[in-house]
Amino acid sequence: MARFDGKVILITGGGSGLGRATAVRVAKEGARVALVDISEKGLAESVEAIREAAPEAQTITVTGDVSKEADVEAYVAATLETFGRIDGFFNNAGIEGRQNLTENFTDDEFQGVLAINLSGAFLGLEKVLAVMREQGSGSVVNTASVGGIRGVGNQSGYAAAKHGVVGLTRNSAVEYGEFGVRVNAIAPGAIWTPMVENSMKQLDPENPRKAAEQFIQANPTKRYGEPHEIAAVVAFLLSDDSSYMNATVIPIDGGQSAKY
């Protein structure tokens, strides 16, 4: 029996990157998957990737903005209407924002990054945890970042939001553990996703690959992580294999955050 047979997994940011990779991973292990993203095109591509990997998998997609409460209510309602429950929630949608010194990072930019990365994470937790408490079971994985456990520079909005996600994770885990609901987080480092590629374009618009190679030299592994490597950890946390893990924040960064 596969780990997710009969399970329903809800994933925000499911139209690309870590969300897509996780959707493919859990679908291959039997999950029914609800994908949420602001990009209809990205969602369609994710569904195609799932079909290639797991032709029998049941999927639904919901287009929405995770920072808008009505959209969050809509994706939760659509998942429940279709599948009747939510066993796992990968609360993953996020943006990086423009890289800049704090003094040059405008309030509009700051609020925009917090809206998606922190308010969006909170709204997802608010709606999904109520469902899981009523069920008496469930596992949540929030996407934080190494930028949520240490300073990275030039990312005031992103760092503030991801530190907030770590706080939300620990607080919710303490609140909901007695109801059979676990809340953990991942803290990815340099993972080659469209968001990271865009970050490298900010550093060197003419040659982002060169900027990427220079950036990764500080990592003990001397390479970027791949989305499927993150998906493996997320799937573990969503599954019953991690049944006594709660309030944990796991760095997945090749060891970079451990360096002096």
Catalytic annotation, residues: 158
β-pair partners for 250: 186
The radius of gyration of the chain from alpha carbons, rounded to an integer in Å, stands at 17
DSSP for 108-151, please give it. Answer: HHHHHHHIIIIIHHHHHHHHHHHHHHHHT-EEEEEE--GGGTS-
Which two three-digit tokens encode residue 152?
A: 């990275």
C-alpha torsion angle, residues 182, 170, 24, 131 (rounded to 10): 50
Measured distance CA(239)–CA(235) in Å, rounded:
6
Edge-first strand order for the sheet with 249-252 is 59-63, 32-37, 8-12, 88-91, 138-143, 181-188, 249-252
Measured distance CA(52)–CA(39) in Å, rounded:
20
- Cβ atoms of residues 31 and 54 within 8 Å: no
Picking from 64, 65, 54, the residue whose alpha carbon sits closest to that of residue 32 is: 54
Name the percent of the chain in helix, strand, coil, to the closest 5.
55, 15, 30
